DNA sequence: TCAATCCGTATC
DNA sequence: ATACGGATTGAC
């Protein structure tokens, strides 16, 4: 034995043995490897020989380099085995990148399920799940992995052929039911009763949820090691990060780990702070792509090595490994930032639900608004509702009023230039007088450059199809956003006016105008360029774009929701749901009515989303929305897949695909840059079959080296 | 009959 | 992407 295995400076295990005299490992000489190539027809494990010098370090979950079709590629060691089914000769693993087992069995299994659900490759999902290696971070002192947990024979992932089956990877909502009060039998009841100190702690934590009748029971069940599943409607003014932290702490008290996902950096900062307060320092780690490679990998390692039991983060954290997962949580699942833009385009909510299902963990889907998807979980009985009673709700909501489509502009000329209807202006003035801040929510500039009548502000709609009129780039005549017709001789149907003005003004311009309307009051903006997280309690006007609303100390005295028309008339099926979500998020920052809090929404009070806001009833709206989607056959009531690409490529793929029975084809619709898009619709029971068929067809095409690529997306957020 | 070349397919 | 096998072609 002349070979010397050593650990190089970068931590990689290399060997001095010449290729010619390599020997296979004595025990479990075969490694099943997922090669990191994005081709769908290669989405299965390949077997390699483990050289003797890697015998101990090449454990399941490690990164390797292998020769594949003549070139060196990265790969994941999924499992070690005694022998191979492969007929031909096996090549050796070329290199063990690092002995760090970064792919835990739980995540390997989850990644396979996610790939199957989204008609994607395991390798693509693994690239999302495990951050790029950073050798320095790996060498930094951290709790060493327990060698006893790494059994050489342990399989990390089920092999491709067994994992593509339905069963565990089926939609959560079609699976069994659970209840908060009496969830599935506890696997580890000892944790709940062993220590009375822990029992007291859990009671303290559960106390935080007393405003919600089923809340404390949920926390107790999680602490006891059970797997309750809940859709939580947070009260206005709720300190949701603290509630999330309490749920996390209860899980930790029961000896299990937590993964919680939020949409953006600001929510993450709040949750991070709440966890430090509730859980103490060093018990959790925040993970987001914004950290940069080194810190991100370090945070990842803290979780995968079992140093911390709680991981919170943006969607980058949805695959974070934690030991003995007990709870997955997501806040504001309607935020489109939860949708991963890289193939296979998984959604954080769905990944977490699948994860909970596979790991038998509890689920907490929280928000002020409720998505159709969350409603589906409730209606199928997969999850239970956590909501306050109407009575509690009444005590917390601000006073909310609409002001019509044809707003009476305030008579005060300054207020009129600020586009403020008189009701809004009055509410703002009263709040400022009471020395409380005012939040003004305006849609983002360029969000939709729509037009309205210069004289009466009636939205300018296309005379043919009632679509929104807008100025196309440099042209001076407005055209319809929907049908494209140019509205050359536009006259306002309400007042006959012929002049149009852009109805969306950016936050900055609004801020300037409001500054003039309320002289002497400080005006601050929070938007894309600079996002404020907190503003002090005194009189001030805060202009914010949706999603960037700062929290006010003590709550806002008034919240004004302006230019709502822009949100409501978007040519998007989710427009209403999205509008309500944004309004509720902003309105939740107002004081309760009893403390003078008022919300004015500049929209027609008869519209369903406006109704839902006025009554603070996100559940009612979600049920309505879901019923409508059921009627129309849209997700989540049905499963949709979109196939996008150049027309011949789309046709080619659809010719190759063996669609499940009763699959419906819709389209094509243009998708920009000479591309077109087809939609395939099936019932939820055939969802898995559809994904499999599309993946298979993509594989056939790739094997034939079809040059034009197509993009396959399951339940894309934007349907038309 | 054999080598050079082309094409399709598998990639361990 | 590259490598290999089998079929095809062309020169002896």
The DSSP result for A128-151, as a single string, is: HHSPPP-HHHHHS--PPPPGGG--
A140 CB and strand B closer than 7 A: no
- Name the 3-class secondary structure at A332: coil
Cα–Cα distances (Å) from A119 to A43, A104, A128, A634, A665, in that order, read 11, 22, 15, 19, 17
The pLDDT of residue A708 is: 83
CA of A505 to C1' of B10 (A): 58
CA of A67 to C1' of C2 (A): 11
Checking each nucleotide's C1' against the CA of A32, the nearest proves to be B12
pLDDT in tens, A214-262: 999 999 999 999 999 999 999 999 999 999 999 999 999 999 999 999 9
The pLDDT of residue A488 is: 77
Checking each nucleotide's C1' against the CA of A69, the nearest proves to be B11
Query: Using only C-alpha atoms, what is the Rg of chain A?
Result: 28
CA of A84 to C1' of C4 (A): 22
- Select from A381, A388, A365, A330 the least CA-distant residue to A183: A381
Question: Residue A153 pLDDT > 60, yes or no?
Answer: no
CA of A85 to C1' of B9 (A): 20
Contacts 24+ apart (CB under 8 A), A647-652: A647/A674, A647/A675, A647/A676, A648/A708, A649/A706, A649/A708, A649/A709, A649/A710, A650/A676, A650/A677, A650/A678, A650/A710, A652/A701, A652/A706, A652/A708, A652/A710
Q: Which of residues 552-571 of A touch strand B (CB under 7 A)?
A: none
Range name among A153-167, A363-377, A484-498, A604-618 with the lowest pLDDT average:
A153-167
Give the Cα-Cα-Cα angle A495, A497, A499 (nearest 5 degrees): 150
pLDDT band at A163, cuts 50/70/90? Answer: very low
Checking each nucleotide's C1' against the CA of A86, the nearest proves to be B12
Nearest residue for B8, CA–C1': A704
- Residues 6 or more apart in contact with residue A128 via CB below 8 angstroms: A319, A340, A342, A346
CA of A105 to C1' of C2 (A): 33
The pLDDT of residue A513 is: 78
CA of A42 to C1' of C8 (A): 30
- Residues 6 or more apart in contact with residue A615 via CB below 8 angstroms: none
Q: What are phi and psi of A488, to 5 degrees?
A: -70, -50
The pLDDT of residue A709 is: 86
Range name among A114-123, A128-137, A541-550, A704-713 with the lowest pLDDT average:
A704-713
- DSSP labels, A337-370: GGB--STT--BHHHHHHHHHHHHT-EEEEEESS-
Checking each nucleotide's C1' against the CA of A85, the nearest proves to be B12
Half-sphere exposure in the Cβ direction for A148 (13 Å, CA): 0
| DSSP type of residue A251 | H
CA end-to-end distance (rounded Å), chain A: 65
Sign of CA dihedral A32, A38, A39, A43: positive
Half-sphere exposure in the Cβ direction for A132 (13 Å, CA): 5
> What is d(CA A3, CA A23) in angstroms, rounded to the nearest whole number?
10
| DSSP type of residue A179 | -
CA of A94 to C1' of B12 (A): 13
Q: Tokens representing A552?
A: 């006010």
- Name the 3-class secondary structure at A218: helix
A71 CB and strand B closer than 7 A: no
CA of A92 to C1' of B11 (A): 14
Contacts 24+ apart (CB under 8 A), A477-484: A478/A451, A481/A448, A481/A450, A481/A571, A482/A571
Other beta carbons less than 10 A from residue A406's beta carbon: 13
- Residues 6 or more apart in contact with residue A343 via CB below 8 angstroms: A38, A120, A121, A124, A711
Checking each nucleotide's C1' against the CA of A702, the nearest proves to be B9
pLDDT band at A155, cuts 50/70/90? Answer: very low
Question: Residue A187 pLDDT > 70, yes or no?
Answer: no
Question: Residue A645 pLDDT > 50, yes or no?
Answer: yes
Q: Are A113 and A277 in contact (CB under 8 A)?
A: no
Q: What is the mean pLDDT of chain A?
A: 85
Q: Which of residues 18-47 of A touch strand B (CB under 7 A)?
A: 39, 41-42, 46-47
A485 CB and strand B closer than 7 A: no
Checking each nucleotide's C1' against the CA of A66, the nearest proves to be B12
Q: Tokens representing A98?
A: 């690092």
Question: Residue A524 pLDDT > 80, yes or no?
Answer: yes
User: Which residues put CB within 7 Å of chain C, the nucleic strand?
Assistant: A 39, 69-71, 705
| DSSP type of residue A306 | T
CA of A669 to C1' of C5 (A): 44
Q: Tokens representing A272?
A: 């991070």
The pLDDT of residue A565 is: 74
- Select from A456, A455, A453, A465 the least CA-distant residue to A490: A453
A704 CB and strand B closer than 7 A: yes
Residue A517 belongs to what H/E stretch?
A: helix A507-517
CA of A109 to C1' of C2 (A): 31
- Select from A257, A305, A282, A286 the least CA-distant residue to A98: A305
Q: Tokens representing A503?
A: 């109805």
Checking each nucleotide's C1' against the CA of A42, the nearest proves to be B11
CA of A94 to C1' of B9 (A): 25
- Select from A689, A687, A679 the least CA-distant residue to A638: A687
Nearest residue for B11, CA–C1': A69
- Residues 6 or more apart in contact with residue A257 via CB below 8 angstroms: A251, A309, A310, A311, A322, A323, A324, A325, A326, A327
Percent of chain A with pLDDT over 70: 82
β-strands A676-683, A664-670 pairing: antiparallel
Range name among A132-141, A341-350, A459-468, A588-597 with the lowest pLDDT average:
A459-468
Question: Residue A9 pLDDT > 50, yes or no?
Answer: no
Half-sphere exposure in the Cβ direction for A646 (13 Å, CA): 6
Nearest residue for C4, CA–C1': A69
- Name the 3-class secondary structure at A595: helix
A88 CB and strand B closer than 7 A: yes
Checking each nucleotide's C1' against the CA of A87, the nearest proves to be B12
Q: Tokens representing A9?
A: 């400076």
- Select from A454, A574, A560, A562 the least CA-distant residue to A504: A562
Cα–Cα distances (Å) from A170 to A118, A173, A297, A637, A643, in that order, read 12, 8, 31, 15, 22
- Select from A267, A311, A345, A291 the least CA-distant residue to A106: A311
A297 CB and strand B closer than 7 A: no
CA of A242 to C1' of C9 (A): 78
CA of A20 to C1' of C11 (A): 40
Cα–Cα distances (Å) from A4 to A8, A15, A17, A94, A125, in that order, read 12, 6, 7, 15, 35
pLDDT in tens, A73-131: 999 999 999 999 988 889 999 999 999 999 999 999 999 999 999 999 999 999 999 99
Strand B, nucleotides < 7 Å from a protein CB: these are 9-12
The pLDDT of residue A223 is: 97
Strand C, nucleotides < 7 Å from a protein CB: these are 1-3
Give the Cα-Cα-Cα angle A676, A648, A69 (nearest 5 degrees): 110
Span A341-359, average pLDDT: 97
- Select from A219, A243, A225 the least CA-distant residue to A233: A243
CA of A83 to C1' of B1 (A): 43
User: Counting beta carbons within 10 angstroms of the beta carbon of residue A461, is it exposed (0 to 12), middle (13 to 18) or buried (19 or more)?
Assistant: buried
Say what the pTM is. Answer: 0.86
pLDDT in tens, A593-634: 999 999 999 888 999 999 999 999 999 999 999 999 999 999
CA of A67 to C1' of B1 (A): 37
Q: Are A49 and A31 in contact (CB under 8 A)?
A: yes
pLDDT band at A190, cuts 50/70/90? Answer: very low
CA of A700 to C1' of B8 (A): 14
């Amino acid at each position: 034995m002349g070979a010397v295995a050593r650990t190089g400076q970068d931590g990689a295990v290399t060997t001095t043995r010449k290729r010619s005299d390599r020997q296979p490992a004595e025990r479990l000489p075969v490694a099943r490897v997922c090669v990191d190539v994005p081709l769908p027809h290669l989405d299965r494990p390949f077997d390699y020989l483990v050289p003797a010098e890697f015998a101990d370090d090449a454990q399941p979950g490690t990164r390797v380099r292998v020769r594949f079709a003549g070139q060196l590629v990265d790969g994941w060691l999924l499992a070690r085995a005694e022998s191979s089914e492969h007929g031909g000769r096996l090549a050796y693993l070329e290199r063990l990148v690092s002995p760090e087992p970064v792919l835990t069995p739980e995540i390997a299994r989850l990644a396979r399920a996610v790939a199957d659900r989204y008609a994607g490759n395991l390798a693509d999902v693994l690239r999302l799940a495990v951050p790029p290696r950073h050798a320095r971070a790996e060498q930094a002192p951290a709790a060493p992995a327990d060698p006893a947990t790494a059994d050489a024979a342990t399989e990390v992932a089920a092999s491709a052929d067994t994992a593509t089956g339905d069963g565990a990877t089926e939609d959560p909502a079609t699976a069994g039911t659970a209840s908060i009060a009496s969830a599935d039998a506890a696997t580890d009841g000892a944790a709940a009763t062993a220590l009375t100190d822990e029992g007291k702690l859990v009671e303290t934590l559960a106390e935080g949820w007393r405003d919600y009748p089923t809340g404390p029971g949920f926390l107790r069940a999680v602490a006891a090691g059970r797997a309750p599943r809940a859709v939580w409607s947070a009260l206005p003014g709720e300190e949701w990060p603290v509630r999330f932290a309490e749920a996390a702490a209860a899980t930790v008290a029961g000896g299990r780990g937590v993964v919680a996902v939020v949409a953006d950096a600001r929510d993450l900062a709040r949750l991070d702070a709440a966890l430090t307060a509730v859980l103490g320092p060093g018990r959790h780690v925040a993970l987001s792509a914004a950290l940069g490679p080194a810190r991100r990998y370090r945070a990842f390692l803290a979780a995968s090595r079992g140093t911390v039991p709680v991981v919170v983060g943006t969607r980058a954290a949805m695959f974070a490994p934690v030991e003995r997962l007990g709870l997955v949580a997501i806040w504001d699942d309607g935020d489109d930032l939860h949708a991963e833009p890289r193939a296979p385009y998984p959604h954080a909510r769905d990944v977490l639900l699948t994860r909970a299902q596979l790991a038998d963990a509890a689920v907490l889907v929280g928000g002020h608004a409720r998505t159709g998807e969350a409603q589906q979980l409730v209606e199928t009985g997969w999850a239970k509702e956590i909501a306050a009673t109407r009575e509690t709700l009444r005590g917390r909501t601000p006073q909310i009023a609409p002001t019509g489509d044809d707003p009476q502009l305030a008579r005060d000329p300054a207020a009129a230039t600020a586009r403020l209807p008189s009701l809004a202006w009055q509410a703002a003035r009263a709040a400022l007088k009471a020395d409380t801040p005012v939040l003004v929510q305006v849609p983002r500039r360029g969000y939709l450059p729509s037009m309205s009548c210069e004289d009466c502000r009636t939205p300018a709609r296309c005379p043919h199809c009632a679509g929104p009129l807008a100025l196309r780039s440099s042209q001076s005549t407005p055209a319809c956003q929907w049908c494209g017709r140019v509205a050359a001789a536009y006259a306002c149907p309400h007042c006959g006016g012929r002049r149009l003005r852009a109805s969306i003004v950016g936050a900055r311009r609004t801020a300037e105008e409001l500054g003039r309307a309320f002289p002497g009051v400080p005006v601050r903006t929070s938007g894309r360029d600079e996002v404020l997280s907190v503003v002090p309690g005194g009189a001030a006007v805060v202009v914010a774009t949706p999603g960037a609303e700062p929290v006010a100390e003590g709550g806002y005295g008034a919240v004004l929701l302006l230019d709502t028309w822009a949100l409501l008339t978007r040519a998007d099926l989710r427009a209403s749901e999205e509008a309500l979500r944004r309004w509720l998020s902003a309105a939740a920052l107002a004081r309760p009515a009893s403390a003078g809090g008022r919300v004015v929404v500049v929209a027609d009070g008869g519209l369903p989303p406006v109704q839902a806001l006025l009554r603070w009833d996100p559940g009612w709206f979600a049920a309505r929305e879901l019923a409508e989607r059921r009627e129309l056959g849209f997700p989540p009531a049905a499963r949709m897949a979109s196939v996008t690409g150049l027309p011949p490529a789309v046709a080619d793929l659809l010719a190759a695909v063996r669609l499940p029975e009763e699959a419906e084809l819709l389209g094509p619709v243009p998708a920009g840059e000479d591309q077109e898009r087809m939609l395939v619709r099936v019932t939820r029971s055939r969802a898995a079959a559809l994904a499999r068929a599309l993946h298979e067809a993509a594989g056939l095409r790739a094997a034939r080296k079809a040059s034009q690529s197509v993009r396959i997306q399951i339940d894309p957020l934007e349907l038309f």
